[in-house]
Structure 1
Amino acid sequence: MNQLKKQLVCVLMVLGFCLPTIAQSGPPQPPMGKRWVMNPDFSDEFNGTSLDAQKWFDHHPNWKGREPGIFLPSQVSVKDGYMQIKGEKLEKDTIVKAYGRNLKFNIAGGAVVSKKSTFLGYYECRVKAAATTMSTTFWFSTNGTAKGPNDCDKYGQEWDIQECIGRTGDFSGNHFANGMNSNGHFWYTDCDKKKHDLRAPAVKFHNSELPSKDFHVYGGWWRDENSASFYYDEREPKHMKFYDKVVGKPFSEPMYMRLVSETYPFPWIELPTDEELADDTKNTVYYDWVRGYKLVDVLDSSLNQNYEMGVKLYHETVIFPETEMEISEKQKIKIPFSFKANQKRTIYLKISQTTDKLKEKWDKKIAEKQFDVSPGYGNMEIEFKLDKELSRNEQYKVEAFIRDINKTNKPKDAIEASTLFLKIN
């Protein structure tokens, strides 16, 4: 039913027919010996009827909004399979006293903020921007500041995976109306209380199509305290090195996830018009889902992964990095591969001799191993210690099956299989 509703809403949003964007989702290949698992505290399919109050604030707990746009819980909703943030014109100006001054607001926006903070990991969302100049964003930042290297200074972090607007216009920030825009801000306050925005070189993916025309997948891998990588649909990733001239590891503190629609000041970006804010086909951001992942040891089976098993994220498979591998060690062989699993599975590996010089059975089995894996995207290698050395004069292959733990190792019971040929040098 939710999928049907999503298709219907897609039609209504563009007053016509909407073809879905085929976009990659799921994390990039993990490091050797590691497995990506979903982090439920930063994941939501938004298939209910209200925001999950255990995970999210329906407002920004530390920020009223950028004038003249105020964050209001009334603008945040979950329905039809989406988390929606609606931009609207207020009936009258609203004055809010905050940060030691009076703030004037006349446009309503919204913010959804995680209740927990996170450190490192991969994060992605699938979203369709509002067709206005209000922002559609997916970002992380710290609450408060960390002590700087001189004791009298301090710093904060902001990591913007995606920041865009949904239409073009005659203003300097017009480039935010296409593609993916990513930044890494090191917010530094020196000992003289002067504030500095020490940002990394921006990462940009260009797309001539407006982000309000269709859904796109925006992803970011916070690799370590010094670097991040960014992912846009099916494109190759781009990379960022954070500013590290003040502290050697600038992104050292946990951050909170933010899904925000706000106003931007002219001449950077002009304010939305009253007409587009009154148009329900233009004024709403649609977040289809948001997902967070963390790295664990590849065979760690101690985690509660009920949330991940419910999402059924992957096309389940076992994958060799290449079709042929050259080896010099003839009796102790390490076979690298990766796997994707939606639930607990068994992986079976078999080394066979494929020549028939001695008139023995074709595909004579040399060695085999099997083991269970838990849900996620893993990258690992298995070592075979053989009784006899492999010969340069023979041909060998490795077959890998991923299967249900209750099935057999016969090819007919495999969910999917892959083959690797060995070249002996």
Structure 2
Amino acid sequence: MDRIYINLKLFLTILFIINTLCVMSQPMAPKGYKWEVVKVLSDEFNDFDELKWNYSLWNYDAPNIMIKSQVSVKNGKLCIKAENHNDSVRWMKTGRIMSKAQISYPMYTECRMKAADISAYNTYWLNNGNSENRNEIDICENNANPNNPKTKHGIADFPYIMQSNIHHAVNGKNLRSPSAASTKFLSEKNKNKGKNFHEAYHTFGLYWEDDRKCHWFLDGEYVGFSSAQRKFTRELNIYFGLWSNSWDGFPNKKELDDNSKNTMYVDWIHTYKLCRKK
């Protein structure tokens, strides 16, 4: 397998050059290998496929409360909606789903997604475990309309930024390997250059190479990598979710009543495993 990974590193280097000429999907497979679709982790969202997805209803901190009814499939899109909830503490009802199947490296997954236009995180990620012990890969965490002007990237930049991260927690000690990419730095030929995440659909991708390395893709372009500080030891589920926190400011209740702003949309997800050609 070491030889496979060396060849893939060479192909990823080539991607830096060719991505300015055309939009790529998964990285090129090395000679003798191919990318094979993982059907249980791929979906066009023509309906809600209960053979592929579970509702994930554990809660983040208040004001979030995860409710099954906030997740739906309409017009070929997975919809996760945040709305006002009749509770003084958990006053923002929203949703999250997780795949029933799990996957490990080497793999590639990508989705086409449009963020909600509220102060909340639109998320596409992989996880197995809890806050004390887990392997987690955050492909995209984006707040497309933050309310807190003190947010670390600056309120003007944050709607354009795809935050990616690796978390590896053991007995409560979490080691992180963060990365960030902005649509403002996409190539000139990219139709999504400079577009924020709620005004257009964007494609987010992860190539999980080996027991440490993750490579990030945004709108068909290679935008960097992260290396885990511990080796990955678990197969992971894929998640989509919408939630808020105090770091970037909670959405106001008027935003949560606005159906033109309060929904995150996923057009499709495609996932692949690297397999030897027969």
- The TM-score range, normalised by the shorter chain, is 0.7 to 0.9
The alpha-carbon deviation at position 203 of structure 1 amounts to 3.6
What is the CA deviation profile of residues 277-315 of structure 1, one whole-angstrom value per residue up to 9, with x for unaligned ones? 10111000010001110011123xxxxxxxxxxxxxxxx
Equivalent residue for 1:44?
Answer: 43
- Which residue, 44, 51, 55 being the options, matches 2:52? 55
Structure 1 residue aligned with 2:164, among 166, 174, 182? 182
Paired residue for 1:142, among 120, 128, 132?
Answer: 128
Counterparts of 1:69 and 1:144 in 2: how far apart (Å)? 18
Q: Distance in 2 between matches of 1:201 and 1:74?
A: 32
Distance 1:59 1:111 in 2: 5
Task: Answer yes or no: is 1:161 the counterpart of 2:139.
Answer: yes
1:205 aligns with 2:202: no
Mapped contact 1:167–1:210 kept (Cα < 8 A): no
* Counterpart among 242, 252, 266 of residue 228 in structure 2: 242
Distance in 1 (alpha carbons) for counterparts of 2:200 and 2:64: 25
The Cα of 1:45 is off from its aligned counterpart by 0.3
Query: CA 1:77–1:134 in structure 2 vs 1: closer, same or farther (change >3 Å)?
Result: same
Relative to structure 1, the CA distance from residue 66 to residue 40 in structure 2 (aligned partners, 3 Å threshold; closer, same or farther) is farther
1:226 pairs with 2:221 = no
Please tell me whether the aligned partners of residues 66 and 94 of structure 2 are also in contact (alpha carbons under 8 angstroms): yes
* Residue matched to 2:85: 90
Alignment of 1:80 with 2:80, yes or no, is no
Report 1:263-412 matches (<5 A). 263-265=244-246, 268-299=247-278
Shift of 1:196: 2.4
Whether the aligned pair in 1 keeps the contact of 2:146 and 2:249 (CA below 8 Å) is no
Contact 1:24 1:217 in 2 (8 A): no
| Structure 2 counterpart of 1:69 | 64
Q: Which residue of 1 aligns with 2:27?
A: 28
Q: Deviations over 1:286-345 (max 9, x none)?
A: 10001110011123xxxxxxxxxxxxxxxxxxxxxxxxxxxxxxxxxxxxxxxxxxxxxx
Q: Distance in 2 between matches of 1:128 and 1:144?
A: 27
Q: More strand by proportion, 1 or 2?
A: 1
Amino acid at match of 1:227: K
How far is 1:144 from its partner? 5.1
Work out the CA distance in 2 between the residues paired with 1:92 and 1:197.
32
> Does the C-alpha gap of structure 1 residues 296 and 182 become closer, same or farther in structure 2, counting only changes over 3 Å?
same
* C-alpha RMSD over aligned residues: 1.9
Which of the two has higher C-alpha Rg? 1
2:66 and 2:24 map into 1 onto residues whose CA distance is: 29
Rounded Cα–Cα distance in structure 1 between residues aligned with 2:242 and 2:116: 9
Tell me, what secondary structure is at the counterpart of 2:72? strand
Cα gap change, 1:197 to 1:287, in 2 (>3 Å):
same
The corresponding residue for 1:261 is: 242
Could you give the per-residue CA deviations for residues 29-76 of structure 1, whole angstroms, max 9, x where no partner exists? Answer: 01221100110111110113xx1111101234xx22332111111000
Change (3 A) 1:291 1:66: farther
Is the Cα–Cα contact under 8 Å of residues 54 and 100 in structure 2 kept in the other structure?
yes
Question: How many angstroms apart in 1 are the aligned matches of 2:60 and 2:99?
Answer: 17
Q: TM-score, normalised by structure 2?
A: 0.82
Is residue 66–residue 262 contact of structure 1 (8 Å, CA) maintained in 2? no
Give the conservation status (yes or no) of the 8 Å contact 1:183–1:200: yes
| Structure with greater contact order relative to length (CA < 8 Å, sep ≥ 6) | 2
Q: Which runs of 5+ in 1 are unaligned?
A: 1-22, 94-103, 146-153, 190-194, 245-249, 300-425
Aligned residue pairs, count: 243
SS in 1 for 2:101: strand
Counterparts of 1:24 and 1:111, CA distance in 2? 29
CA contact (8 A) 2:120 2:145 kept: no
Q: In structure 1, how many angstroms separate the alpha carbons of the residues matched to 2:130 and 2:167?
A: 14
Q: TM-score scaled to structure 1, two decimals?
A: 0.54
User: 8 Å contact 1:87–1:283 — kept in the other structure?
Assistant: yes
> Cα offset for 1:179?
2.8
Mapped partners of 1:25, 1:131: distance in 2: 27
What is the deviation of 1:157? 1.1
1:147-184 Cα deviation digits (max 9, x unpaired): xxxxxxx8421100000012144132445421311101
Q: Which residue of 1 aligns with 2:96?
A: 111
State whether structure 2 residue 158 is matched by structure 1 residue 172.
no
Q: Deviations over 1:349-394 (max 9, x none)?
A: xxxxxxxxxxxxxxxxxxxxxxxxxxxxxxxxxxxxxxxxxxxxxx
